[in-house]
């Protein structure tokens, strides 16, 4: 089977670094470099075409920094941040970045981060399959232990920077995993991302009103653009009366 390639772009205001990253992408078979850009503003129109799978994004850039730029995108591609400062890592995880690369960038770390992105990309593009009754079991790590859960019992997941809280009816489990990785592992026909910070199990939604979803009396916000998608893909398909 032919390997699927990820279309990627590089956004960095340093010409020499752009060239260095471009040369490293040429060494990795699953990366297809489409274009490079000197600023976030210059990359905006290209991203709007919707076919970019991965962005190597510098944080410290004039006019619009990488963090604010990624935060402004409603449906961003996978992102690997580039930075000279490790303190930006937590902010990157909050925005569900796949990884971050510290300058000067060595090929080993570049390959490691790219591979992590590719694994998520492949998982995202797998053909959707109906889940069998025995496919609801998952294991999550708690310290040195592995705890068995059923995804059908998850009410919703809450992003907490570089870890995620899984909320059940009578307990909450914290896992050291980003929301993006969790979303890729759960069945997309049962879980819906209503907000950057919340992924809900649609089977447990009690009420949708205005810009809010209610699950077990817990009020969760819906982003403005996600509300219409939720209504179209979940509610209207099962609407008894209009």
Provide the pLDDT for residue 88: 57
Write the pLDDT tens digit of every residue in 77-110: 999 999 887 665 555 455 668 888 999 999 999 9
Alpha carbons 89 and 76: distance in angstroms, whole number: 18
Q: Which residues pair with 101 in a beta bridge?
A: 82
Write the pLDDT tens digit of every residue in 172-196: 998 887 788 788 888 888 899 999 8
Question: Nearest to residue 84, comparing CAs of 109, 101, 97?
Answer: 101
Provide the pLDDT for residue 163: 81
- This prediction has a pTM of 0.56
Residue 180 to residues 6, 40, 157: CA-CA distances in angstroms?
17, 22, 11
Provide the pLDDT for residue 87: 65
């Amino acid at each position: 089977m032919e390997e699927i390639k990820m279309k990627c772009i590089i956004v960095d205001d340093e010409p020499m670094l752009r060239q260095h990253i471009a040369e490293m992408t040429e060494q990795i078979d699953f990366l297809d470099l489409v274009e490079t850009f000197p600023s976030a503003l210059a990359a905006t129109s290209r991203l709007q075409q919707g076919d970019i799978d991965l962005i190597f994004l510098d944080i410290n850039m004039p006019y619009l920094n990488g963090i604010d730029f990624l935060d402004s995108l409603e449906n961003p591609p996978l992102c690997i941040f580039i930075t000279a400062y490790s303190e930006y890592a937590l902010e990157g995880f909050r925005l569900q970045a796949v990884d971050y690369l510290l300058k000067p960038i060595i090929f080993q770390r570049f390959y490691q981060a790219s591979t992590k992105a590719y694994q998520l990309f492949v998982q995202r593009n797998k053909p959707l399959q109906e889940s069998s009754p025995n496919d609801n079991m998952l294991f999550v790590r708690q310290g040195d232990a592995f705890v068995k859960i059923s995804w059908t019992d998850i009410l919703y997941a809450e992003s907490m920077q570089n870890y995620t809280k899984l909320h059940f009816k009578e307990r909450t489990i914290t896992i050291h995993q980003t929301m993006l990785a969790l979303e890729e592992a759960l069945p997309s026909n049962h879980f819906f991302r209503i907000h950057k910070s919340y992924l809900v199990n649609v089977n447990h939604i009690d009420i949708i009103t205005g810009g809010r979803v209610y699950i077990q009396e817990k009020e969760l916000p819906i982003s403005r653009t996600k509300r219409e998608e939720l209504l179209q893909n979940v509610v209207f398909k099962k609407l008894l009366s209009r």
